[in-house]
Amino acid sequence: MYKRRRVIVKPEVIYVLDYLPYGRNRRRGPLIQAIGLESLRLVEVKLKEGVSLEIGNTISLEDEKIDRIYGYIRYEDLTSSSKKELESFLDKYISENESKFVEFFNTAVPINPRIHQLELIPGIGKRLLWRILKEREEKKFESFEEIKKRIPQIGDIKQMIKERILEEEKNEKLRHCLFVKRW
């Protein structure tokens, strides 16, 4: 007999990607698809009857408006509206949390003797990796603009980070996650 695994979701603030007033599939009632602001994990939550939220709202998973937390969901389970909103959310999130991502560039370490964390970001190969490591050794980076100025070949850093986050969301079997917390 198939035994369902209970998913325990850590309490955090989530950003609403889509509001489904009538639910979907077997899940009836007001439902939201959201992303955790700390973990960047996708989650599906049932709201109490009569409660509605707008796309773009934030709410704590411990709020009394929430009836039930269904748990983490896969990227494929997102509605097309959620997928579009996720793209815009990530653009805004990366810009607003630039210092967090710049710090990643300053502190990233090798995963093993052959692969460095920075190489997992699309567009960064061995040559660019060595250039980044050399530049950060001389002086830590302070912004995306400074990284771009000191390493002109790097391309659009925000887009590269966004692509990596989306890759981590789409592929649950990735061995190494840089930004999405899998617990």
Any idea what the CATH number is for the domain that residue 29 is in?
A: 2.40.50.140
173 pLDDT above the threshold of 90: no
pTM of the predicted protein model: 0.89
Place of tokens 């973990």: 39
pLDDT over 70, % of the chain: 95
86 assigned to some structural domain: no
Q: Which of 100, 90, 74, 78 is nearest to 169 (CA)?
A: 74
64 assigned to some structural domain: yes
Asked whether 8 and 183 are in contact (CB, 8 A), the reply is no
At what angle are helices 80-96 and 157-170 packed, to 10 degrees?
Answer: 140
Query: pLDDT tier at 27 (50, 70, 90 boundaries)?
Result: confident
9 pLDDT above the threshold of 90: no
- Note the pLDDT tens digit of each residue in 142-165: 999 999 999 999 999 999 999 999
Please indicate, yes or no, whether residues 60 and 109 belong to a single structural domain of this protein.
no
Q: What domain range is 162 assigned to?
A: 97-170
- Note the pLDDT tens digit of each residue in 109-152: 999 999 999 999 999 999 999 999 999 999 999 999 999 999 99
130 assigned to some structural domain: yes
State the chain's mean pLDDT as an integer. Answer: 91
Structure confidence at residue 2 (pLDDT): 41
Structure confidence at residue 183 (pLDDT): 63
84 assigned to some structural domain: no
Structure confidence at residue 1 (pLDDT): 42
Structure confidence at residue 164 (pLDDT): 97
Residue 15 host element (H or E): strand 13-20
CA–CA distance, 124 with 119 (Å, rounded to integer) = 5
Find the CATH number of the domain harbouring 119.
1.10.150.280
Query: pLDDT tier at 89 (50, 70, 90 boundaries)?
Result: very high
Structure confidence at residue 25 (pLDDT): 76
Query: pLDDT tier at 52 (50, 70, 90 boundaries)?
Result: confident
3 assigned to some structural domain: no
